[in-house]
A and B are shown apart, each in its own frame.
Chain A
Amino acid sequence: MVAQTGEKRYSDALVIGGGIAGLQAALDLAEQGYKVMVVEREASIGGRMISLSKVYPTLDCASCITTPKMSAAAHHENIEIMTYTEVKSIVPDGDGHLVTVTRKPTYVNADKCIGCRLCEYACDSEFADSFEQGLGATRAISVAFTNAIPQKAVLQAEYCLSCGLCLRACPTDAIEFDQQPRQEQIAAHAVIITTGFQLNGLNIKPQYSAAQSANIISPLTLERLLAPHGPYGRVLRPSDGKIPESVAFVLCSGSRDRTIGVPYCSRVCCMYSIKQAMLLAGSLPTADITIYYMDIRAFGKGYEQFYQNARAMGVNFVRGKVSHIDVAPPDDLMVHVEMTEESVDCVRRQKHDLVVLAQGMIPQWNPSGVSTVTIGEDGFVATPDLASPCATNVPGVFVAGAAAGPKDIVDTIADAGAAAMVAARYLVRCGSKESAQPGGGRSVRLELAV
């Protein structure tokens, strides 16, 4: 599976990012017979979606949708997945692109590792688990998470004590402390950027971060709290493990705000907050749940009904933007808001046990320095041609999902399919006639002039 350093390999398409967008695009291309490589920065594919609890508006289990896709992609004969790998440069080369990637050392021989986790059980070094948003602990050598793909251990050198316990525990002698990062070159005809989004931090707005409370949490943290296989197995608030009796969702806390440079709407916060409120109402039946909103943007199919259901369930919707949050000693939080829909007693202070900030979506990856792909004012990959929303300014480089702008899962999957379609069209136009026949199962095999 692993090529030697310096050796150049060929692929029809290269997908950057193994989240739901990347997997969908890769599967759609692979099903048409094209060879696809998926480059993933993390130790497992699955992206953001695999860490979610449930998805709106159907309240389906997120893992139940993502895991089959991950598995299908990992086992597809036309798809090669490279995890723990970062893209260093994308250089146009004839009709295609020469992509240089760095494969970060996992210190585990992937061919030998059988995913038995004996090393993980043996390891003595624990640290906060980023997959659980820091709520649980993981070990210096571990499989990324329960349903990670590939099920291969990764050793994180910065936390490793070099004690050798894992070496002794490993039944296949897969652990290689002497691994080095190595570069590989891939000649790919089409490139699809599906690098997704990140959230813009709990501290971005001083009005909400002054409290510095452990009980002001990210929505992704709440996803883990709500997930059946989450860190606590139930919803507890982080500071003291109390079962929250009053939870507030503060919408638009990281977007639609010019003071923090995110003037656009993140599109998903209204809906996932409603979803989380519904799930909370299920897991904490006696809790008061309040959503502070400016306007509810329930734009998709079935979304408005979903919103109305939440209202009917007793979720309290308050129109008004929270101006700031204080600590209400010892551990509670005081939310300040103007009740803009009421006639008297306008400004209200409301105490909550737990506050969820609906943070803004910002791009995960900036292609500058790696590629000549341009980004828009908002930092997301620019798609200059309105008639071709997946095309970037570079021919043969496409973009899908939240890398091009805030999107929810439904739109991301549709977008990924569209990107696969335009990429396939590009491959047909540029590739040899013979290889471009549908169902041919053959690679375009570009001859790149290097």
Chain B
Amino acid sequence: MAGPFNPELHVDLKRFGAKDLDMCMNCGTCTTICPMSEDSGGGFPRRVIRLVQTGQQKKLESSLDPWMCYFCGDCTLNCPRNANPAEVMMASRRYLTSRYDFTGLASLFYRNPLTEIIAIVLVGLFITALFVFLHGPMVLHRVELNTFAPVKWVELGDWIMAGTLSFFLLAGAVRMTWWTLGRRDMLRVSPMIFIRQIPTFFAHLFTQKRWARCGSHPSLIRWIKHLLLVSGYLSMLTLVLILLRWFQTDHVYPFYYPQRLWGYYATVALLYPTGDFIVSRLRRKEPIHFFTEASDWIFLVMLFLTALTGIMVNVFRVNGFPMATYIIYVIHLAIAVPMLVVEVPFSKWSHIMYRPLSIYLAGVKKAVADSTGKGSDAQALEPAAAA
């Protein structure tokens, strides 16, 4: 691509899932019906679709609009052309994720799901191999997980993995920030503005509170389920990254002990929403579930299996089945690790970073615009003129 235009952009987006993109005739019904569009000042979904249709790749890359959409599906239900605007927004997010990622892996995984599956299998095999060749002594008359897989080594592995993931994710975040704040213009922004907006980032990271306002009733319920999922996910991360020494123990605590209760909570908070989302996607009742890309399936199934094998480790351990515990523990890690390694920086889970970051950046932009007295952020609202 040379210059800011890419005539093949709409073809690209179709490979990321926006299959009905060409149907759009830019009537604006979606924008008007969108509960989020006006507050965010974006004029989306129509303008995002327009950017794609007219091949304005640079503008799309510097747009935060796709991240302001939480996919309530109202636009898709109302679209007179069945162009499925919500799916275009979804595909734009996938596309942006792949653009933020400098390695090109995200792009590869999204466009060709088979490569994602191969990557997951490879990482899974690698983890399995590590245990097959490097596991500790297997005590078979009672469960000694910490002898089989010493917690300090597992913890070390955790930290290496977390560091790697954070590196890729942060690299993506930096690219996103650089593009959306107008590249070199970003350097002129006062650091105080960046600092003052930080609470926004964390508020949205933990609560996704905008989502609750999005769309009609089902969206609210979906937000609550998602919140549950996030709490489960964060619980899991905390237990695994920070509290592993306390969590992975051979001592069987009483049922009411916080270590067990917390673990059970995390399990339920992961299993129920993911199971529910899988069923909804199979039933296809709501617009958000009409189309499911391979990346969505992989994400949901892996997360579900991680939680399932996690709780199985606990069941076997508490009930004293040593061999079963060791085997399921290896399977558990052979699922959880590739999920995190592949999904978090390069696929669907990257939204955990990009979504709150986008709201943070929108706040920064607005603060900059207010301080320079330009009125509302005119940059984002430039007319999407036809090429």
A252 neighbours in B (Cβ, 8 Å): 27, 80
CA distance A344 to B37 in the complex (A): 12
Q: Which of A258, A321, A338, A342 meets B82, CB within 8 Å?
A: A258
Q: Mark B19-31, 1 if CB is under 8 A from A, else 0.
A: 0000001111111
Using an 8 Å CB-CB cutoff, how does the interface string of A335-349 with B read, 1 for contact, 0 for none? 011111011101100
Q: Are B79 and A337 in contact (CB under 8 A)?
A: no
A339 CA / B32 CA spacing, docked (Å): 9
Q: When the two chains form their complex, are residues B80 and A257 in contact, meaning their CB atoms are under 8 A apart?
A: yes
A344 to B381 alpha-carbon distance, docked (Å): 6
The closest CB in chain B to the CB of A262 belongs to B80
Q: A252-B80, A346-B43 are in contact. Are A323 and B381 (CB under 8 A)?
A: no
Whether A324 is near chain B, meaning CB under 8 Å from some CB there, is: yes
Q: B248 contacts the other chain (Cβ, under 8 Å)?
A: no
Query: Quick check: B82 and A340 within 8 Å, CB to CB?
Result: no
Chain B interface size range: 20 to 34
Tell me which residues across on chain B come within 8 A of A256, comparing CB atoms: 80
- Using CB atoms, name the residue of chain B closest to A336: B32
Interface residue B376 (Cβ < 8 Å from any Cβ of A): yes
A320 interface neighbour in B28, B79, B376, Cβ under 8 Å: B28
Q: Is the CB–CB distance between A337 and B378 below 8 Å?
A: no
Task: Classify chain A's interface size.
Answer: 20 to 34
Let me know if A5 is at the binding interface, CB within 8 A.
no
In the complex, the answer to whether A323 meets B376 with C-beta atoms within 8 Å is no
**A338 to B, closest residue via Cβ:** B28
Known interface pairs A324-B33, A347-B37; A340-B78 also in contact (CB < 8 Å): no
User: What distance in Å separates the Cβ of B253 from its nearest Cβ neighbour in chain A?
Assistant: 56
Q: Kindly list chain B residues whose C-beta atoms are within 8 Å of the C-beta of A322.
A: 32
Cα distance A294–B78 in the bound complex, in angstroms: 16
Contact residues in A for B28 (Cβ distance below 8 Å): 320-321, 323, 337-340, 346
B130 CB, min distance to chain A CBs, angstroms: 54
B250 interfacial by beta-carbon distance below 8 Å: no
- Kindly identify, within residues 134 to 165 of chain A, every residue whose CB is under 8 Å from any CB belonging to chain B: none
A287→B29 CA distance, assembly (Å): 27
Residue numbers in B under 8 Å from A323 (CB-CB): 28-33, 78
How far is it, in angstroms, between the C-alpha of A29 and the C-alpha of B113 when the chains are bound?
Answer: 67
A344-B378 contact in complex given A323-B32, A336-B32, A338-B31, C-beta closer than 8 Å: yes
Looking across the interface, which residue of chain B has its beta carbon closest to that of A294? B27
The complex places the Cα of A336 from the Cα of B38 at a distance, in Å, of 12
The secondary-structure label for the interface of chain B is: loop
- With both beta carbons as reference points, the residue of chain B lying nearest to A257 in the complex is identified as B80
Residues on the B chain within 8 Å of A321, using CB: 27-29, 80
In the complex, what residue of chain A is closest to B43 when comparing beta carbons? A346
Residues of A within 8 A of B29 (CB): 321, 323, 338
A259 within 8 A of B: yes
How does the 8 Å CB contact mask read for A309-346 relative to B, with 1 for contact and 0 for none? Answer: 00000000000111110000000000011111011101
Q: Which of B29, B46, B82 has the most CB of A within 10 A?
A: B29
Give A257 to B82 CA distance when docked, in angstroms. Answer: 8
Q: How far is A49 from B26 in the complex, measured between Cα atoms in Å? A: 34
Interface string of B24-60 (1 = CB under 8 A from A): 0111111111000110000100110000000000000
List B contacts of A388 (CB < 8 A): none
Query: Does B185 interact with chain A (Cβ within 8 Å)?
Result: no
A338-B43 CB under 8 A given contacts A321-B29, A323-B28: yes
Alpha-carbon distance A347/B46, docked complex (angstroms)? 11
* Nearest CB of chain A from residue B45's CB, rounded to whole Å: 10
How far, in angstroms, from A29 to B25 measured CA to CA in the complex? Answer: 44
- Within the assembled complex, what's the spacing in Å between the Cα atoms of A257 and B30? 13
Q: When chains A and B are docked, how far (Å) is the Cα of A382 from the Cα of B354?
A: 53
Q: In whole angstroms, how far apart are the Cα atoms of A342 and B385 in the complex?
A: 10
A203 near B: Cβ within 8 Å?
Answer: no
| Distance of A133 Cα from B43 Cα, bound (Å) | 39
- Name which residue of chain A comes closest to B75, CB basis: A323
A207 within 8 A of B: yes
Q: Within the complex, which residue of B31, B79, B376 is in contact with A344, where a contact is CB–CB below 8 Å? A: B376
Q: Which residues of B contact A294 (CB under 8 A)?
A: 25, 27
A347:B31 contact, CB within 8 angstroms? yes
A323 to B26, CA, bound (A): 12
- Is B32 a contact partner of A324 (Cβ separation < 8 A)? yes
Minimum CB distance partner of B28 in chain A? A338
Contacts A321-B27, A338-B43, A338-B46 hold; do A343 and B80 have CB atoms under 8 A apart?
no
| Cβ–Cβ < 8 Å partners of B26 in chain A | 340
B137 interface contact, C-beta 8 A: no
Closest to B34 in A: A347
- A124 CA to B37 CA, complexed, in Å: 57
Give chain B residues whose Cβ lies under 8 Å from the Cβ of A207.
33, 78
Q: Which residue of B lies closest to A258 (CB)?
A: B82
Query: What chain A residues lie within 8 Å of B80 (beta carbons)?
Result: 252, 256-259, 321
Q: Which of A259, A324, A338 has the most CB of B within 10 A?
A: A338
Question: What 0/1 readout, one digit per residue, does chain A (257-287) give for beta carbons within 8 Å of chain B?
Answer: 1110000000000000000000000000000
Q: Please, which residues of chain A bring their CB within 8 A of the CB of B81?
A: 258
Q: Report 27 cross-chain contacts, Cβ distance below 8 Å, ordered by A residue.
A: A252-B80, A256-B80, A257-B80, A258-B82, A259-B77, A259-B80, A294-B25, A320-B27, A320-B28, A321-B27, A323-B28, A324-B33, A324-B78, A336-B32, A338-B29, A338-B31, A338-B43, A340-B26, A340-B27, A343-B382, A344-B378, A344-B381, A346-B28, A346-B37, A346-B38, A346-B381, A347-B32
Chain B residues within 8 Å of A, Cβ to Cβ: 25-33, 37-38, 43, 46-47, 77-82, 376, 378, 381-383
Contacts A259-B79, A321-B80 known; 18 new A-B pairs at CB < 8 A: A257-B80, A258-B79, A259-B78, A259-B82, A320-B32, A321-B29, A323-B28, A336-B32, A336-B33, A338-B28, A343-B383, A344-B376, A344-B378, A346-B37, A346-B38, A346-B43, A347-B31, A347-B32
4 tightest A-B contacts by CB? A338-B28, A323-B32, A321-B27, A257-B80
